[in-house]
Copies of this chain bind each other. A is one copy, B any other.
Amino acid sequence: MESAIPAHLQTVRTRHRRVPDDYRPPYSSFVARHKPAINRVVMAYFGIQYRGVSPEAVGGIPARMASRFGRDNGPSHWDRAQYIDRAGFTNVVSVAYWDDVARFDAWFAPAREEWTGRAEAGIGTFIEVLRPGIERYETLFSSPDRPEGIAALAEGMSSEVQEHAYWGGMRDRIPLSQTSEMAPDGVPVLVRDGARLRVIARDNLCLIRSGQDWSDTDASERRMYLDDVEPVLREGMDFLRDEGLAIGCYANRYMRVLGADGGRSEKSYGQSWWKSLAALERWAESHPTHVKIFGAAMKYLSTLGQSAKLRLYHEVTVAAADEQFFEYLNCHPGTGMLAAVEPAGPG
């Protein structure tokens, strides 16, 4: 049992954890451990959006990005997923991760120019990037042997950590929570740069990517996941997509991960942008669908323990204002962080 906060990031606290020092979680979970030399990472979402356009017409665009990812200074890891948004547009999003900002910067400029520098008819593109300091995010995994997302860049996984399986564990795993409330500050602002729309977001904006992987489940566990858990999860995801703005969720995407061949894999994740970590906490703790999910997961994992084949993970980041970049070209006004600012109107 160890703290989710690695030793080299433990500081003199001005804020307490939510659990006493003798707390023991009812089942095991694990966190990604970077080498101590890593002090900043990059999480970059490259999206493409279309409706009424044949997949063939847009197929080459993600392929070009995949090619770019393979070049010098490209990401250490990336994956691709898709979903259909509330407005009925298909969105294909490639997420790429770096743990060296200089490499990202060297790679990014031409990639950006290609992605959002020039519009194609009927196709929107967007870039959403966080480059958080290492003290500003946390991960959690139900199994230590299959990293996803930012954890794919880590040196390895922790042993069992203490700060999980209670409300507030997410906050307690973020090193900055030792000394900061991580309160939101500022108001998102829309900046027009020709046809490109940028959103200058706010201090302590929050991002969560929360994933499921049922590829290893046998028939009975798979049925339990797909029949009992997934519909409840979907209901919660739909709520956030359609009604999230009122509770501080700017955007939610319930994504199906695509395999190397472009087909749907047996993995999914929800990805959402939040006004603050507190807003995410409140939803997770009080919305009936998520409370039901949490209760089911507690029971499921407490019972099956490490024998469960369903894998769950997430990564949660609270980013400083200068660690964020949002840029949209030819996207509808409900796309990503555009939903947080005034309707963009034509242009």
Contacts and interface: CB of A to CB of B under 8 A. Distances in A.
Interface of A: 15-16, 18-20, 23, 26, 165-168, 181, 183, 276, 278, 281-282, 285-286, 288, 291-292, 294-295, 298-299
B20 A276 contact: yes
Contacts of A294: 291
Contacts of A281: 166
**What is the total number of copies of this protein in its complex?**
2
Contacts of A23: 278, 282
12 contacts: A19-B278, A19-B282, A166-B282, A166-B286, A167-B168, A167-B285, A168-B168, A288-B298, A291-B291, A291-B294, A292-B292, A292-B295
Nearest to A184: B20
Contacts of A26: 286
Nearest to A16: B15
B18 A168 contact: yes
Nearest to A276: B20
Contacts of A166: 281-282, 285-286
A75 to B, nearest CB: 35
Contacts of A278: 19-20, 23
A286 B20 contact: no
Nearest to A165: B286
Closest 7 CB pairs of A and B: A291-B295, A167-B167, A288-B299, A20-B278, A288-B295, A286-B298, A167-B285
A112 B20 CA distance: 37
